[in-house]
Structure 1
Amino acid sequence: MNKKSLNKLEYDKIIGLLSEQASFKGGRDLCENLMPLPSLEEVEKAQDETACAFSRIVKKGRLSFYGLVPINGLLKRLEVGAILGSGELLHLKNMLKSAAQAKSYGRRERSDEPGDLLDTYFDLLSPLTPLATEIERCILAEDEISDEASPNLKNIRSQMKRINDRIHSTLNQMVNKSLRTYLQDPIVTMRGDRYCLPVKAEYKAQVPGMIHDQSATGSTLFIEPLAVVNLNNDMRELLAKEKDEIQVILADLSNQCSEFLPEMKVNNETLATLDFIFAKGNLAYLWKAAKPLYNDEGIIEIREGRHPLLDPKTVVPITVSLGDAFSLLVITGPNTGGKTVTLKTIGLFSLIGQAGLHIPALDRSRLSLFSDVLADIGDEQSIEQSLSTFSSHLTNIVSFLKTIDDRSLVLFDELGAGTDPTEGAALAIAILDYLHARGIRTAATTHYSELKVYALSTKGVENASCEFDVNTLRPTYRLLIGVPGKSNAFAIAKRLGLPDYIIDAAKEQIDEEDESFEDLIGDLDRRRKDIEAKKMEIDRHNLDLKKQKERLAEKESKLDARRDKIMQAANEEAAKVLSDAKAEADDLIKKLRKYGENISLADLERDREKVRKRLAKTGAPAITPIPRTAGELKPTDLKLGEKVRVLSLNVTGNVIELPDKKGNVTVQMGIIKSRLPLSDLEIIDEEPLYVKKQKEQRRNIGSGMGKSLSIRPEINLIGKTVDEAIAALDKYLDDAYLAHLSSVRIIHGKGTGALRKAVADHLKKQKYVKSFRAGEFGEGDAGVTVAEFKE
């Protein structure tokens, strides 16, 4: 990559931001040496690693290696058999601890959780826990070895403690008793590694011993009393032994470390690599960046990209494409309108993406692999080299033309500027046309109208402009692909107060062709704004409709839930009422069966009243017959065998005697016969028994006669599971219908009601079943379902 272009696109600043995310020098070194990768395979692997680190940071937080120091030198010393110091061994221990923490961080929480590319690095780590534990046991701090490091060291220090206690005891007795008056201060002090007393100079003869030092004034002598000389000598010997034993311990630990030298080298390199990868992941997290999709076809499509060096609170995202429908992009617009930022965004995203960094843009942004990114941006005027602005730009362009190939990306800022406008525009068109003919991806900014015309008239070249608000005299920083920028010099001048006569005079200097072209651009810009405004209005309406639809759906869901709750409560209440009523009815049936024809209507009415009151107490509505007006049922309406409902008892029966003169009718209700008034009866819409019998006799004639004789008029399903019962019922219904039975009784019992419900659901689906009902009084009540067939 062209180093000069890297600096122009501020790639080094991005590397600086990346390095700040690394935890220790090993990772920072990899960050600082990061360059765009040459192959698509390497780029995609680096992008995937960054994506894996980003995903882990979101789920688990960041993996950090703060506190680690470079250990390359320590590992080289171990290779040659050197003995490491206590501080150096602690550095190795810290590295092993970090390896253990990283290994733990890399483990999957669930065995079925899919792996990622970083698993390979975590698997390479060898925490060497026993070795780390041994170093930690022996070395407490950089200058402190544990007493437990070895039995010999523990013994030496035990002896040192005893001698030290004896020395202090002896000297304390001298200080507090015999020598107190001869001392400058009643304290014990050290000179070198010997215990001494501060004796007044005039009393030195009173304190026999060795003089080790004196004060600056000479008034105090530091004397080691003879009583502790031997003890101090013993202490010095023990100190020497302690030092030797510490060296033995350090040598032993160094030897243990050297045995695992290959593992430590792999750990050191792997931790640096992981620190580097997680630095990329953390930078992506801070930028709210996304992984770009890569291609080798020269296609760039940046969706709402934000330049990472601009303030994220104020930066205006840009959407720009290049290399698909067109290979050359000409960007026009006012100064400070965002043209240069657009160029830098294209170039910088190409560089950092190719280096394996995510880009601060929306998902599904696309970047391409380039062999080089060449950028001529900024003014490089040089007094020392006698280069003008035009010359410096042209020098860059010449160097570019020598090195470019069809896999290069070229960026020009103000191409052709700094010289005569006519010649500069012509030269710019020639350069761009040469690059376009070679298919080299190019983006250029300009103020020349000639380049706008060139872009409009040349296939594979596209205009773009940075929007400018004339009313506020401020750029919006929005990039508009396919729209050439309009010159706003006259509008800006007018807004700033330049007299109209000067502006009019300036306009007269522009030929009609240029003026018409600018007017055309202005008209296109106005139409574009109108279309955008209408689109925004449509989008707003669509959003409102979407919200209304969501509110209606939510309201409907709540209503459905409320309805289901009410229905459930009602069903539960109804089930309770029916359960109580059935219990009372069963009791009544038992009495009827017990007393037979001898039961009196008065007793029956009293029992019925009890049932009614029980239903009233449960809060359930009483069973109310269909209201009838007086005289609605006439004596002539009844026929022998007519099926009627007794309204006062809510039971069915058959007429066995026609009404007498008083209008009383004899009705057979199961095993009970009773004379009842016409007003207490209603006809059930069924054929009389004798008619049914005649029809049955007619049906029995012919092919179905043998079948009808073998099919029972009822089926008993009690004791079967629902599936077994339905299978048996289905076959039975087919046989009964083919046998021309008019109706059948299905005995399923009461139980939990599940079998009864299954039977009812099955009967609803049969096309040849005319109707079905629960068994009535005398037919088996709720434990039986009576089904009638169609003729």
Structure 2
Amino acid sequence: MNPKVLKTLEFKKIKQQIQPFLKTEMGEQLLNELEPIADQTAVQLLLDQTKDGADLLRVKGGLPIAQLQTIGPALKRLEIGASLNGVELAAISRNLQATSALIRFFRDLELSFELRNLPDLIAQLVALPEQAQQLRRSIDSDGTVLDEASAKLAAIRKTIHATEGQVRSKMDDYTRGSSAKYLSEPLVTIRDDRYVIPVRAEYKNQFGGIIHDQSASGQTVYVEPQSVLTLNNKLRQDQLAEKQEIERIFAELSEMIAPFTNELRQNQYLVGQLDFINAKAHYAAKIKATEPMIDDQNHVVLRQARHPLIDPKKVVSNDIVIGADYQTIVVTGPNTGGKTITLKTLGLIQLMAQAGLFIPAREESRIGIFGEIFADIGDEQSIEQNLSTFSAHMENIIRILDVVTDRDLVLLDELGAGTDPQEGASLAIAILDYLGGVGTDVIASTHYPELKLYGYERPGTINASMEFDVETLQPTYQLLIGVPGRSNAFDISRRLGMPDSIVEAAKALMNDSSQDLNNMITDLEKQRKQTEEAGAALQQQLDDATRLHEELATAWQTFNAQRDQQMDKARDKADELVNGAQKKADQIIDELRQMRLTGRTDVKENQLIDAKGQLNALHPDRPLAHNRVLQRAKKKQALQAGDDVKVLTYGQNGVITQKLSEHEFEVQVGIIKMKLRDRDLEKIKPEPQQNQRQIVTVRGSSSHVSTQLDLRGQRYEEALANLDQYIDAALLAGYESVTIVHGKGTGAIRKGVQDYLKGNRRIKKYEYAPASAGGNGATIVYFK
């Protein structure tokens, strides 16, 4: 983007408003390098990053960015084999800690939406945990080497501390004892890294030792007493040893991190980039900016756009649309009406968007990607170049015309001004025609009435104006697309007290075409206001309808949720009833089995019928007796004597011997006759038998075999052995079908049962029990 437009539209001020939100030197460098770009893919990437930053700011309060200085020079020194000092190592340590904090932040991040780009940036960060821990243990934030850096350093410093205590103790004897009278001041100070006392010059030999310095007046000398020479010598040696150990630690730490200069440099760049993204998000929140949508056809649709550098309490927002139905907008209206600000608003918002920044406009606003944005705005008069305002503007416009393309945006303020009105208007029309032929998007402001007609006559061109309130004699700064500006000189003059006779005389002097044009503009403004009022009423109706639709949708969702909840409760209740009934049925069957196993022969028919009645009472389908669908289905069965039926209570087949009443039948099941209701019966079709043969069934004690075998809790081999014996007994008992309860569990016994049944020639077929009778936890077996 050409530097002139960045200066004209004050893009630098936008960058200055972002700067306070930055925390790293690399982030500031990225801000300094920020410029609009013309690559759509790159612009979308930058906008995605800003969107991620804005979402994290809204949900998590922003990214955890620490205050960091650049480590670039330190990394270069490492690459040439130098040892870093404490300040440089501390800076690298802070960078590693900041990197780790960002990695942890994103690792622990829980969001209900997906980020677009930041996870990819975070994935490139390198933590270096061992190196970071060693630096943090060895170097303080200000670059001081900590005692924990090495055991030797800790021991040396402990010795230094003890020696200093001895020296101060001896010095205190001089400052507080009888010798204090020889001192200029009762204090201990340091000269040449050695502890000394200030002695009056006339008593300089009183303490022996070494004189290290004297005051400017010569009346005080700084003496290291003879009694502390040895301690000071030892202290000095320990201090030198401490310095050597510190240098060794610096070298060791430098050698430790030297292999990772590329990773550290990349971390610094990525953290700076994240800092810059975080700053863009904070700036967007400050000016209440939104994410723009990129239009592939360069159709610009800015909804309620506002200039970002004007006080939010005073700025007026406007809809600005260009590129689709028209490529040229001619804006007319009085001075100070807001024409220049409108041009700057469009241009600056485009620059911001193409730099990856959010824009001060409503959501769903669309921007184009222009190769260049040219602007001829403001007073270009140059005294040094001896150019008039008109000449300066023309030179600038000529430079634009030399390079402009159909992918550019041109902003022209006061086009053709500064010269003869008729010539200026003609030149302005010719310039707009040329730009229209190129296919450039253009917004031009002017005072010339000829350009109002141009806006009507030229295809792809539309008039616009800045609204002016004649009642208050103040501009409203509202952009009116499709309505040319009207001269308000007569109305303003009359409101200010100009005699009506003079105003009317002035109107009479105007030619008819100008008068007709003003009348036409007046009519257009009236129609616009009527349309706005009608549109506002329709919008209110639409809002009401939308709100009602949302309320109905919410109510419908609530109803569905409550219905599903009730259905779930009903299913749970049904399952509870079925499970209880199954347990009771198992108890009754166990009692009958115990009777058989104990060899009781006094079991009467009525006892069996009572047991059958108890089982009927537990039938899970009883609550559905009044279901109309089931009633219609049962009516189709038309049960009658002689029909083959399935007794749902037992899962056995039988034959109706006689009809007892409308809903009761006598059914022969094996050797037992039962009195059953029609809801317990299901009519079945008799299976055709190709080879009729007489089957003689031997009945004996085996006829008391239960119709159900429970294998749950048994080992695999034990279960299969019991199954084999049970099948033989059931065949001897003459059962047509039995139920094998094997449970679900791991499925091993279930598979073993089905493998056995598959290989037994006496088995006709087998299938899982109904859901109410155990589902795939039980298998019903049918014999041939």
Q: TM-score, normalised by structure 1?
A: 0.70
Distance, in Å, in 1 between the alignment partners of 2:478 and 2:228 is: 89
Residue 35 (structure 1) aligns with: 35
Specify the alignment match of 1:266 in structure 2.
266
Map 1:452-531 onto structure 2 (within 5 A): 452-531=452-531
Q: Cα deviation per residue 1:544-584 (whole Å; 9 max; x = unaligned)?
A: 788899999999999xxxxxxxxxxxxxxxxxxxxxxxxxx
Structure 2 unmatched runs, 5+: 559-612, 642-658, 666-678, 680-784
State the alpha-carbon separation in 1 of the partners of residues 407 and 557 from structure 2: 58
Does the C-alpha gap of structure 1 residues 90 and 744 become closer, same or farther in structure 2, counting only changes over 3 Å? same
Q: Would you say 1:446 and 2:463 are equivalent positions?
A: no
C-alpha deviation, 1:78, in angstroms: 0.9
- What percentage of residue pairs aligned between the two structures are identical? 41
> Distance between the aligned counterparts of 2:281 and 2:299, measured in 1?
25
Q: Cα 1:350–1:738, aligned 2, differ >3 Å: closer, same or farther?
A: farther
How far is 1:97 from its partner? 1.2
Which residue in the other structure is 2:298 paired with?
298
1:168 Cα offset (Å)? 3.0
Give the Cα separation in 2 of the matches to 1:42 and 1:457.
39
1:214-271 deviation digits (Å, cap 9, x = unpaired): 4455554433222221221121111111111111111111111212111101111111
Matched with 2:618 is 719
Name 2:244's counterpart in structure 1.
244
Q: Give, in whole Å, the separation in 1 of the partners of 2:386 and 2:640.
A: 115
1:429 and 1:82, CA in 2 relative to 1: closer, same or farther beyond 3 A?
A: same
Structure 2 residue matching 1:331: 3-state secondary structure = strand
How far off is 1:359 after superposition?
Answer: 1.1
CA separation of 1:173 and 1:514: change in aligned 2, threshold 3 A: closer
SS in structure 1 at match of 2:463 = strand
**1:283 paired residue number:** 283
CA distance in 2, matches of 1:449, 1:456: 12
Q: Does 1:144 align with 2:131?
A: no
Quick check: 2:298–2:370 contact (8 Å CA) kept in 1? yes
Q: How many Å separate the matches in 1 of 2:184 and 2:397?
A: 87
State how far apart, in whole Å, the 1-side matches of 2:528 and 2:111 are. 56
Structure 1 letter corresponding to 2:415:
L
Q: Check the 8 A contact 1:332/1:465 in 2, yes or no.
A: yes
Contact 1:455 1:461 in 2 (8 A): yes
SS of structure 1 residue aligned to 2:69: coil
Worse-matched range after superposition: 151-160 or 459-468: 151-160
Q: Distance in 2 between matches of 1:64 and 1:544?
A: 43
Aligned CA distance change for structure 1 residues 224 and 520 (closer, same or farther; 3 Å):
closer
SS at structure 2 position matched to 1:448: coil
SS at match of 1:407: coil
Deviation at 1:196, TM superposition (A): 2.8
The amino acid across from 2:224 in the alignment is E
**1:186-585 equivalence runs, <5 A:** 186-540=186-540
- Given the superposition, is the C-alpha separation of residues 401 and 732 from structure 1 closer, same or farther in structure 2, using an over 3 Å criterion? closer
Q: Secondary structure at the match of 1:56?
A: helix
Distance 1:238 1:369 in 2: 68
CA contact (8 A) 1:415 1:446 kept: yes
Find the aligned partners of 2:216 and 2:48 in 1 and give their Cα distance: 72
Whether the aligned pair in 1 keeps the contact of 2:300 and 2:367 (CA below 8 Å) is yes
Task: Decide whether the 8 Å contact of 2:425 with 2:448 is kept in 1.
Answer: yes
Cα displacement (A) at 1:502:
2.1
> What secondary structure does 1:81 align onto?
coil
The answer (yes or no) to whether the contact 1:196–1:225 under 8 Å persists in 2 is: yes
Q: Which residue of 1 aligns with 2:770?
A: none
Q: Partner residue of 2:17?
A: 17
- Provide the C-alpha distance between the structure 1 equivalents of 2:288 and 2:18, rounded to a whole number of angstroms: 14
- Offset, 1:151: 2.1
Distance 2:106 2:618 in 1: 60
Change (3 A) 1:731 1:497: closer
Partner Cα separation in structure 2 for residue 112 and residue 312 of structure 1: 32
Amino acid of the residue matched to residue 57 of structure 2? Answer: I
Q: CA 1:112–1:717 in 2, change beyond 3 Å: closer, same or farther?
A: farther
Partner of 1:126: 126
Q: Distance in 2 between matches of 1:557 and 1:20?
A: 47
Aligned counterparts of 1:339 and 1:741: Cα–Cα separation in 2: 100
Shift, 1:734, TM fit: 4.4
CA distance in 1 between partners of 2:112 and 2:555 (Å): 40
Q: How many angstroms apart in 1 are the aligned matches of 2:364 and 2:112?
A: 29
Bigger drift between 535-544 and 20-29 goes to: 535-544
Q: What residue identity is the alignment partner of 1:67?
A: Q
Q: Which has the larger radius of gyration?
A: 1
Instruction: Report the alpha carbon displacement of residue 287 of structure 1 after superposing the two structures with TM.
Output: 2.1
Q: Offset at 1:325?
A: 1.0
Cα drift, residue 736 of structure 1: 5.8
How has the CA–CA distance of structure 1 residues 392 and 718 changed in structure 2, closer, same or farther, with 3 Å as cutoff?
Answer: same
The separation in 1 between residues aligned to 2:364 and 2:275, in whole angstroms, is 27
The answer as to whether partners of 2:329 and 2:463 remain within 8 angstroms in 1 is yes
SS of residue paired to 2:51: helix
What is the match of residue 775 of structure 1?
A: none
Letter in 2 for 1:417: A
**CA distances 1:680-720 after superposition (whole Å, capped 9, x unpaired):** xxxxxxxxxxxxxxxxxxxxxxxxxxxxxxxxxx9995212
**1:760-771, aligned counterparts within 5 Å?**
none
8 Å contact kept, 2:89–2:143: no
> 1:738 and 1:51, CA in 2 relative to 1: closer, same or farther beyond 3 A?
farther
- Matches of 2:640 and 2:139, distance apart in 1: 99
Q: Which is worse superposed, 60-69 or 720-729? A: 720-729
| CA displacement at 1:63 relative to structure 2 | 2.1
2:440 is aligned with what amino acid? Answer: I
Distance 1:517 1:226 in 2: 109
Provide TM-score, normalisation by structure 2.
Answer: 0.70
Distance apart, 1:372 and its partner CA: 0.9
Shift of 1:65: 3.4
Compare 336-345 and 278-287 and name the one that shifted more: 278-287
Question: Would the aligned equivalents of 1:23 and 1:64 in 2 still touch at CA under 8 Å?
Answer: no
Whole-angstrom CA distance in 2 between matches of 1:89 and 1:176 = 44
Which amino acid is 2:70 matched to?
P
Contact 2:52/2:115, CA 8 A, preserved across alignment: no
Structure 1 residue 149: Cα displacement: 1.6
CA-to-partner distance for each residue in 1:353-412, whole Å, 9 max, x for gaps? Answer: 111111111222111111111111112122222222221211111111111111111111
In 2: Cα distance, 1:120 partner to 1:502 partner: 73
1:557 and 1:226 map into 2 onto residues whose CA distance is: 95
Note the C-alpha offset of 1:172.
3.6
Which whole-Å CA distance do the structure 1 matches of 2:275 and 2:543 have between them?
45
> Aligned residue for 2:103?
103
The alpha-carbon deviation at position 735 of structure 1 amounts to 4.3
Mean Cα deviation higher: 215-224 or 415-424? 215-224
- In the TM superposition, residue 44 of structure 1 has moved relative to its aligned partner by 1.4
Structure 2 residue matching 1:236: 3-state secondary structure: helix
> Structure 1's 419 and 199: CA in aligned 2 closer, same or farther, altered over 3 A?
closer
Q: Is the 8 A contact 1:289 1:359 kept in 2?
A: yes
Change (3 A) 1:534 1:120: closer
Q: Secondary structure at the match of 2:211?
A: strand
Question: What secondary structure is seen at the aligned counterpart in 2 of 1:297?
Answer: coil
**1:464-520 per-position Cα deviation (integer Å, ceiling 9, x unaligned):** 121111111112222121222222111111111222222222212211121112111
Q: Cα distance, 1:115 vs. partner?
A: 4.5
Task: Please give the root-mean-square deviation of Cα atoms over the aligned residues, in Å.
Answer: 3.6
For 1:260, what is the secondary structure of its paired residue?
Answer: helix
- 1:184–1:396: structure 2 CA closer, same or farther, 3 Å change rule? closer
The 3-state SS of whatever aligns with 1:504 is helix
Shift of 1:433: 1.4
Quote the offset at 1:3 in angstroms: 1.9
Change (3 A) 1:111 1:47: closer
C-alpha separation in 1, matches of 2:549 and 2:2: 56
